[in-house]
Amino acid sequence: MFERFTEKARRVIFFARFEASQYGSPYIETEHFLLGLLREDHQVAKLLPEMKTIGLIRQEVENHIERRERISTSVEVPLSAECKRILNFAAEEAERLGDQHVGTEHLLLGIFRESQCFAATILHADQIGLTKLREKLQGLRSRSGVAPTSVRVPDPQKAQQILDSFLGALRDGTLKEWRDSFAQDSTFIDASGKHWHGREEISQNLETLLAPFAKRNAQPWNATQTCSGEFLWVSTFTWRNVYIAGFSPLDLFRMSVVFGSEDGVPIVYLIQITPIGRAAEGKSAAT
C-alpha cells in the first residue's frame, strides 16, 4: 500500500517505528505515529489553530505510557490496528482531495478520523473537528498553489557512495567534510544509549562520537545492506577492536546507518551504536 505514499509520509512511518522501539513498545501506537509525524513535518502544525510543542507532546506521551526496555531498531515493530486504520483513512482523504499521492497532511487527517485514539486526544481533535481541518487544508492549498509531492525513491548506488565516503572519512580522519550528510532532524544514539538530536548537535560532536571507530585497529565486518519499502536504505556493521569508556576491549558493537533521499541526494537519518556481546577470550579480534 505504501507505493502511493510520498517520501515524507514514508519517513513518518519510519520515525514512528523508531519512537516505538525507544519506548520499548511491541507495537507502533498512535502516539508514536504522532511523534513521527511532527518530527518529520513541522508544517502540519499550521493546520491546527493551536499546537503544543513536540516537547510538550512527548512529555504527555511519557506520562501516559509505561516505558519499557528499548528494542533494537533491527527488530520489526508492527503497526497497531489503530495505526493501520489511520493509514487507510489517509489514503481515503487523499482520494477525497483529488491527490495522487498520500502525504503528511493526509496522515494528520487520518489521525482525526481515528477520533478515539490517544493521538487524537492529544490534538483535541474533537474540539477542532475533521470538517474544519479539511477546509483549512483546502484553503491553504488554494492560496499557495502547492501541488502534492511526488514519490522519490533513493538510488542505492548513490547511498553506497555516501556510505563509502563515511567509512573513508573514518579511516582518513576527514569527518568534518561529512557533516552535511546528516538530515536536519537526524539522530545519533551512542553505545550508552544517549541520544543526540539534529544536524547541528551531531555535527558539533561528530568526531568525539565516532572517535572509537576511527582508531587504526577498529574494523567493520559482517556488513548487511537492506532496502526497506523502497524508501529506506539501511546498512548494519559489526565492529570489533573498538575501545569505548565503560566497555571491555573485547566488546563487539553494531552500527546501524539509515539513509533516505532528499531531492535525489542520500541523507543520513539515524546512526545507532549498540553493544551486542563480547568476542571470545584469547581469540584475536582482528582474525
pLDDT, one tens digit per residue, over 10-22 is: 889 988 998 999 8
Alpha carbon 212 to chain centroid, angstroms: 24
The whole-number pLDDT of residue 285 equals 44
User: What are the Cα distances from residue 239, in Å, to 48, 70, 175, 243, 286?
Assistant: 46, 21, 18, 10, 10
Amino acid (one-letter) located at 211: A
Q: What is the secondary structure of 127-182 as a DSSP string?
A: HH-HHHHHHHHHHHHHHH-PPPPPP----HHHHHHHHHHHHHHHHHT-GGGGGGGE
Question: What confidence tier does 231 reach under pLDDT thresholds 50, 70, 90?
Answer: low
Give the pLDDT confidence score for residue 280 in this predicted structure.
Answer: 59
- Please report which confidence band the pLDDT of residue 109 belongs to, taking 50, 70 and 90 as the band edges: very high
Per-residue pLDDT, averaged over 96-123, amounts to 90
Q: How far apart are CA 5 and CA 105, in angstroms?
A: 11
Number of helices and strands in the chain (H, E): 10, 6
* Alpha carbon distance 67, 33 (integer Å): 16
Domains detected in the chain: 2-144 (1.10.1780.10), 156-278 (3.10.450.50)
Contact indicator for 9, 41 with CB cutoff of 8 Å: no
Answer for the pair 104, 86: CB distance below 8 angstroms, yes or no. Answer: no
The partner residues of 66 in beta bridges, in order of sequence, read none
What is the pTM assigned to this prediction? 0.56
Task: Give whichever of 111-115, 219-223, 224-228, 231-235 has the largest mean pLDDT.
Answer: 111-115
For 87-106, how does the pLDDT look when each residue is reduced to its tens digit (9 = 90+)?
999 999 988 888 888 989 99
Mean pLDDT over residues 232-256, rounded? Answer: 86
Please tell me the predicted confidence (pLDDT) of residue 86. Answer: 95
Q: Quick: pLDDT tens for 257-282.
A: 887 766 666 678 889 898 888 765 54
